[in-house]
Amino acid sequence: MRRTVYNEDHEAFRETLRAFIEAEVVPVHEEWYAAGQVPRDFYHTLGDLGIFGIEVPEQYGGAGQESFKFQAVLSEECARAGVSFGGSSVHVALCLPYLKAYATEEQKKRWLPDFVSGRCMFAIAMTEPGTGSDLAGMRTTARLSEDGTHYVLNGAKTFITGGVHADRVIVCARTAAATAEDRRFGISLLVVDTRSEGYAVGRKLDKLGLRTSDTAELSFTDVRVPVEDLLGEENKGFSYLGQNLPRERLGIAVGAYAQAAAAVRFAQDYVQERTVFGKPVAAFQNTKFELAACKAEVDAAEAVVDRALEAHDLGELTAAEAASAKLFTTEVAHRVIDRCLQLHGGYGYMNEYPIARLYADNRVNRIYGGTSEVMKMIIAKSMGL
């Protein structure tokens, strides 16, 4: 069936992006994989290419597009080539919506031009050791100074994607105690300069997958954050997080679908080249049936993703619908990638083959952005259960 979710502009972007990945990323991706992160100056290259500015308003140096579909194309093309742009996905997909929605005009003028160019990379710090998906249980604090000029930030965060290279981090912290009626009250968002005294990047975490994405532990010891760097209103941070989670989960759903589609492609190519017992693996009925079943699941995931992309661009994607899309596509990707790895036999377990890396990369999709169990809770609640 013809896919109608993308228009000519999206497809032109895809063509440019595919050529860029093949020429500039594929040849050096092995080096990035070994290093566990992409080079910092690669983000300048992405800035020059216009990747970071697509959804940034024109007055701040961007292209002024409102569609999330360009980011979806980026996810699909990276998965297709078996590469990653490191922590830059967080820069645009997660951080930009907060800056566009809650930053003051002065803050936008100060931050967005360098955001577009890649000279100032953003990350967002929500998760803390011991809290996981329970964001209301965070313990990082930001106390307003007596003279009211700055906050004093103390605490720690973990699993922060882009945390090594980040120049600014949107830190979620308690500026007031939770109330008996609302334990979510009292959380604020502070845009912290990573050069600040008392700000420290701890371990670059050694992950199972997503090896080229720099993921770190962060700590804050009496970090002074100017009140001018408060994002949005004080104590309303949790509601801001909730409003942006559907987009984050849609992004994960798109990525999971793209990974599943890539897995089928990798397996299809492999089984036609590999021979056993004197004939191609593709000639066996089991191979044909397995790949056919995987293709059917990927087709269903594509339909779910496309419907969610349309709903998001229309401003109609609900939290429950985003949760449903994430739950379905990540479970599909889990099944499909596992079956496609099996078709590779022993070679599927070798990291030199993209299917092995895809298998490791995919596993986190059912954890971050809210676990599958949390997605089920959200969906059940929307059903009145």
Our measurement of the distance from residue 87's CA atom to the centroid of its chain's CA atoms, rounded to an integer in Å, reads: 8
Phi, psi of 359 (to 5 degrees): -60, -45
Strand blocks (E) in the chain: 122-125, 141-144, 150-161, 168-174, 187-193, 199-204, 215-226, 230-231, 275-276, 279-280
Q: Is 31 a catalytic residue?
A: no
Which structure tokens are listed for 109?
């003028």
Catalytic residue among 217, 248, 290, 297: 248
3-state secondary structure of 266: helix
3-state secondary structure of 28: helix
Give the C-alpha distances (Å, rounded to integers) separating 277 from 40, 263, 284, 291, 346.
48, 24, 11, 20, 16
Which structure tokens are listed for 321?
């619908």
Rounded Cα distance between 375 and 366, Å, is 9
Does the CA dihedral 257-260-262-264 come out positive or negative? negative
| CA nearest neighbour of 117 among 67, 61, 72 | 61
List the catalytic residues.
248
